[in-house]
Structure 1
Amino acid sequence: MTPAAHRVSDAAFAALATGGGGATAVGELCAAQASKHRLLVRLLAEESEAARRAYETLAELEDGAPEEVSRCLRHPAVGAWALRACRGRADPGRLAAVALAAAVRAGAACRLEVPAGGRLMLPSLGLLTLPPGGPDRVMAAVEPDGDGAGVRVGALAVRVVPGRDGPGWQALHRLPFGPHAAMTVDDLDPYRWPGDDVDGRLTEARRHHWSTCLGQAWDVLRASHRTVAAEVTTAVSVLTPILAGAREQHSASARDLFGAIALSDPLDGIGLALTLTHELQHAKLYALSDLVALTRPDDGRRFYAPWRPDPRPLEGLLHGAYAHAGVAAFWRRHLSDAGHGARAEVEFARWREAAHQVTGTLLDSGGLTEEGIRFVATLRDRLSLWLEEPVSAAAARQARLIAEGHRRAWAAGPAGARWLEGRSRS
């Protein structure tokens, strides 16, 4: 249970700075984030007796089932909860529920006091519904039972089977992503997403639609974006449903939820492939920023972003440039597609220019660290090469008109910002 020290290797930093990285570089980020979660729960164990007992249980379980314990600790909502608990804004006793989840996964017996209050979330597994009017804290026990476990919480006894609903038990479902991976749909955990646009439980029909689109997205990524496919498989483990925006599908990532991508109902496979590509860029940059400072402290300045209705701080501008370099790279791979080539030309032309423009703003700002300058300069070099690649005159003209329209609406102030609100990308 001891967290390890981490630094990003020079090779990984250089690879990530191009806008890509590959599974090896992303694996370094994942390892650092896993240690971050362990450090957070260790800090809680030093501060809270309830957390200490759960921490000791996790350490014992890890001796026999290290991967199952690690899987629970890596779950994005566990990291978000642990950070809030370290800041005094969440119950550290919830670590007992993490230990119970690890015991279910490991097929091991476990007995701990847990916070209840009518519902008990077993992170990465699902939600137990408890009888109303019970105490705030109760004893809970796990007894292995074939492909699941018997879980007793106070007087309530429930059979918990991962991935399968049952009486008093709502499971988190997993959707296949390629032949050897799957993503968990977290539509239950109270710490799954910090925004007020969080969606509720997916119906079976919606879950089937998500699964279909995810399969199609895998086909797109595997056929045309093998590096991205490997990165997504390495880093993304959870999809969190959120409500759609006013005009289009909505997606987001959060610094404290590495490994999770939040999105509204996907429209189709290529749209979901693009969403995964886009949000993965944010996730990589969040994780890298935990290891390397790329920007100096915010000095209050705000900058124009060609993809937003509002002026952005420097860190937000960097995120947008990195994400839209990924978007440009995505469409670059589809320029010759029979079904998407015309759109791909416009999107590639627009976002390569926008990201290139913003890298210049970043380098001229004086707000980057030495490592940040190296990172952005490398990204700009890659974008400069793409600017030399030909697109049709019609696509270049349409991309320019869209960019000019965005700039005019932005300059118009609040009225223009409202018009752009539903069309923002990052």
Structure 2
Amino acid sequence: MKLVDKFTLWYLSATLIILPLNAYISYQSIRKEIDKATVERLMHVNERVAGQVKAGEPVSDHTQGCKIVVAESTADVPAGHVEVAEKSIKDIPELRDNDRKVIVSSYYNINNRLYKVTSADYVTRPEQILAGLRTSIMWKVVILLAFVILTARLVSRYVLAPFYSTLKKVQRFNLKTKQKLELPRTRTKEFNELNCFLEKMTDKAVKDYSSLKEFAENASHELQTPLAIIRSKLELLSESDIRGEQAHLIGDMQNAVEKLTRINRSLVLLSRLENNEYEATEKVPFSQYTRDALSAFCDLMALKSLRVKSHIEDEVCLHLHPSLADILLNNLLSNAIRHNQPEGAIEVTLNHEYLMVKNTGHPPTGPTAEMFQRFRKGSQCNNSIGIGLSIVKQICDMNNFEIQYHYASGLHIIVVNFPSEAAASKLLQNDERYLHEKIRQ
């Protein structure tokens, strides 16, 4: 839900709560003012009638449209006393009305006699006031809803224009360009604070990125020289007159140096992947890349006596960087060979929806959910450095591919799904069902 919609709902909810309360207060105020004005008018009528009595003038039964009654009183009340009464005549069937009557009685001392002058008039019923307020509230709600719905988005475009401008610039911001993020100043205090924070944060991110990239490149470059020296010294040492035990130690050291070299290259590659240094500019013929990768590993597969099956559809093209396509295929195939068993099998399937690599092998010793984490191995293999599948996962995440791992009936199954998650899930379910059927047979 958009921010403007949330504010609109909040405003309408508050209005629907406040309007009935305001109507009740208005009703009480209007009724009180009507009664007050009626009482004041009747008191004025009573004073005028009392003046007529004092002057000896005849008094009419109606004065200024009000019923008048003048009579001597024996009540023990002081002169000037005023009584106000309210009478509803809705219980009188003959009138068939619900009118409300206000009666004002005033006491006057005229010629040493106490007179009671009473006047009465009809006033507006509460139902009439409520009916008018109800109609008014309904129209207010309708007009308010229409006005808010029609103008909320127009007003939000103006009010939130600086926010949307900032959002677009932040979305286009790229660390690799090393350009400073410049955001416009606005008259809204909160937006200015947000822009200042984003500018400081992006400036620090650019500096940190540059420092980290420089450190990774320098570390990789500096490590290559001592590794090359160690490798050459070990080769020279292995050519000298050494005993069998020394040769075994030298071989272990050479293996360790080669492993360290692979780790260094893989970590540099991961750093570049995380920094999005590989951008896909065009589609690559992934079918041909897969065939070339299988051809490159055919000697190694033959050395391990592995049976290879491939089902590769033609014209499978992916929006992927060419280097990443090679790395993805090489890591998946080398992982399938390394973790395979002698005289095992490898099956590669590629179509427009997914890439699937199956290989025989021992069950994974660790949790399969951690298979794509760095330095996590599914089985104890001395030749594995534990980064290959992490690189594959990073490549898939960069290109919105989904990768899944599954082990069933002695087969390691990795599926890289190109279009959607549903196809990969369905594939694994069908593959598992197929394997169970084979087991039953």
Q: Shorter chain as normaliser: what TM range?
A: under 0.3
Structure having the higher Rg: 2
